[in-house]
A and B are shown apart, each in its own frame.
Chain A
Amino acid sequence: SQWGEENLQALSIQEGEDVTMNCSYKTYTTVVHWYRQDSGRGPALIILIRSNEREKRSGRLRATLDTSSQSSSLSITAAQCEDTAVYFCATDASSSFSKLVFGQGTSLSVVP
């Protein structure tokens, strides 16, 4: 498998807290994608970090990538109830078109 041991994790936090989700991967990738999937909907790309970037920010989201340890993280600052979703990381080693390999994901629940 492309990914390390990572069953669907479940996290529950309170509104306003910060949270970090981690992924580790086994093989080469040019980019790590982070997707969120809301109930009843398809995954939606929320942030993408390339192999030449160590950190990427988008609003309250922060992604990191450490190619030496083959790991990536997604942090959400001051989580809101609407951040409740399943979050997936995915690697992509293809050069001419995207070919994603998804990690198992984290089910995040933000409670008031």
Chain B
Amino acid sequence: QQQVKQSPQSLIVQKGGISIINCAYENTAFDYFPWYQQFPGKGPALLIAIRPDVSEKKEGRFTISFNKSAKQFSLHIMDSQPGDSATYFCAARGGKLIFGQGTELSVKP
């Protein structure tokens, strides 16, 4: 019940395309859902986050869509760029942060 399931494991997108990463959770007590971006050799960095009383949050090219009834949330990266190539983690907070398994995104020029 404390798991966060993330898919796909890896994703290849052409430059200018839309990258979509999905996460699902079971614990309805989770109250905060961040996405982290991690480059090789670096620690994860907060990208964008949402609370369950909001269905969508947009910051620049990054959008979180949140479906409370389905217990799912997703990250959309519009106009994907080679510089977006990184590993993305969704997470959910129920006291502590529980991370998904990660999605390795590669944006081809």
Partners in one complex: no
- Give chain B's interface residues, CB within 8 Å of chain A: none
Give residues in A with beta carbon < 8 Å to B.
none
